[in-house]
Each structure stands twice: as structure tokens, then as C-alpha cells.
Amino acid sequence: MDLESRAVTMTSVGAQPKWDAAEANKIYNLPFNDLLFHAHTVHRANFDPNTVQFSRLLSIKTGGCPEDCGYCSQSAHHPTGLKASKLMEVERVITEARKAKEGGATRYCMGAAWRSPKDRDMDMVIAMVHGVKALGLETCMTLGMLSPSQADTLAEAGLDYYNHNIDTSERFYKEIVTTRSFADRLETLGNVRQAGIKVCSGGILGMGETAGDRIDMLVTLANLAEPPESVPINMLMPMPGSKLANAAPVDPIEFIRIIALARILMPKSHVRLTAGRTGMTDEMQALCFFAGANSIFVGDTLLTAANPGDDRDSSLLRRLGLTPAALDSAE
């Protein structure tokens, strides 16, 4: 089946065919104009091409993480100078969420630098979910690995999304993280899905991986029993003191190719431009939107990393004729 036929199958009857790496690699290596044309065709068949979903991200517990992720400033293994903090008070989280809603966000994401949440912290986490949902926002948490019972608890609290990135391919994963396995990541995604929570999972480009690793990462996500509803694609922001502090930058064309491939492999997922937008030109972001990206984090901070800020985003989206997606169309 050729690519156009597959797009018709995926969009008109809602089927989710499985992909193999060879087929995905062939799509990735199409002439750039052909790849963008196909990706935009799939995107336009599944979404309003002129709307972008806004999310806001807050670090509710920063630093001191026992994991050794090579890209992360919050790892206790890296001399990044970031001090560990305690879990944020619930009322402060809700106050920040209210500001996010006033700024146009429809989804509020809360992240804690944990290997996994402890039972003693769950009551506060649940209170945060309740408080943010009461504002009329979608809720998302990223708290590390979850057991089935923890996923069930969050589902009962009404959590809408859980973020747990697989980061890269299974082959390359051990070069970046040694304190947990790729299988551990997939197990948590399975626990989240089984609990009935929507899945947010993607990866990071620029950690020394090959193009094949990037493609394999997307194939893994697309071939889950149900692909993630949200697929964040990060461009590495090298953090001083981290293992990847001196990593080479990602080629912009290669990054856009991955956005386009993500859109084709997962036509009904929101594909989000995440970390690294401060290093992207407006023209690069515009091509990402055309290729199928339709979600961004707004605000000037992502956990501990810089983000473009509302003024720059507003200017870019206005020039492109893009508007924020309403909550009912952002789900």
C-alpha cells in the first residue's frame, strides 16, 4: 500500500495500521517537499490545520532525582548546581494553574523529579489534580514510573493525561540512562493505559542518536496497542554539568523530518513542539507546524529550561494565522 492509500485508510475509517522500521525509514527519506506534503495532508484530514493546542508546564518538585538521565539538569548524578526542592504546596500549584488558564492554556502539566511517587506524596498530588480540574483545565502529570495501583489512584482522581517519554530508541536508550530500562518505560505506559488515563509520550533529539534511532522511537510509539494521544518531540537543550552538556545541535531539516514522520505514523495524536524552541527560528517552527505539529508549551519556563515566552509565541502565531485551540477541540 502506498503512502497516500495508507493516509486514506488511517483517516477515513479510523484504522491504525502497524508500521515497520523499513517502511518508516522510506517515508522519512522522501524528498523533503513530498514528505511535508504527505504529512500536511494527513494533518489536515485529522485536525484544523490553523489551530495549536496550548499547554503549560510547572515543576512541582525540582531536583535531586536519583535517575541518571544524561540530558537532565535535575539528576542528582550531575553537578549542575540545581538545588533540590520539596513538593510544592497545593494552593500555589492551583494559583499558577489559574494564571496559565488566563494565558490561554487548556492543559496544565505538573512534573516532579522523582524515580516514582511515594505513597506519602499521593494525597497532595491528588489534591492538585482536583484543584486544577476544578478550574476547567485538562490535567497532566509526569512523576516517573508508576505501579498499576498508583496509575489507578490517579485515574480515580480524574487525571486526564500522564507523560512518560521513552526518550529514544530501545537500542540507544542504555547510552543515555542506566538506572532504569527501556522496558521499565513501556511498563509504565502500559499501566497508565490500563488505568484509563490518556498517554503522553515522545522523545528527545540531539543526544548522539542516529536517524535510525529517532525513527525506531516513533515506530515504537506508533505500534503501541493504542498510540499516545500526545507525542512531545524535544530538541535537546544541553545543560551545563550534565552528561550531554557538549552535545552537537540537531540539524533543523532532520528535526522537521521527524515531526512529519510522527504526524504520518500517528495521525490522530497531538504532536507537540516541546523543549528547544528557544533555539529554533520562526521559520523552523513554521515548517514544523506545516508538517503536523499542533501543540506547544507556553510560558517562559519548562521545568528548569527556558521557553520562548508569551510575547514571542503570540507574535509568531499571529504572523502565521494560527489560533489557540479551544478545550473541546484540544482533547
DSSP H/E element including 259: helix 252-265
C-alpha cell at 169: 530508541
C-alpha cell at 198: 490518556
Q: Is 14 left (phi over 0), alpha (psi -120 to 50) or beta?
A: left
Cα angle 146, 147, 152 (rounded to 5 degrees) comes to 90
C-alpha cell at 27: 517515508
Active site residues: 65, 69, 72, 109, 140, 200, 272
Helix (H, G, I), strand (E, B) or coil at 197: coil
Q: What are the residues whose beta carbons fall under 8 Å from the beta carbon of 22, sequence distance 6 or more?
A: none
Rg of the chain, C-alpha, whole Å: 19
- Report in angstroms the alpha-carbon separations of 290 from 5, 47, 185, 257: 21, 12, 30, 11
Q: How many other C-beta atoms are found inside a 10 Å radius of the C-beta of residue 311?
A: 9
- 241 phi, psi to nearest 5 deg: 95, -15
C-alpha cell at 70: 544524561
- 148 phi, psi to nearest 5 deg: -55, -40
Q: What are the residues whose beta carbons fall under 8 Å from the beta carbon of 127, sequence distance 6 or more?
A: 90
C-alpha cell at 64: 535531586
C-alpha cell at 282: 520562526
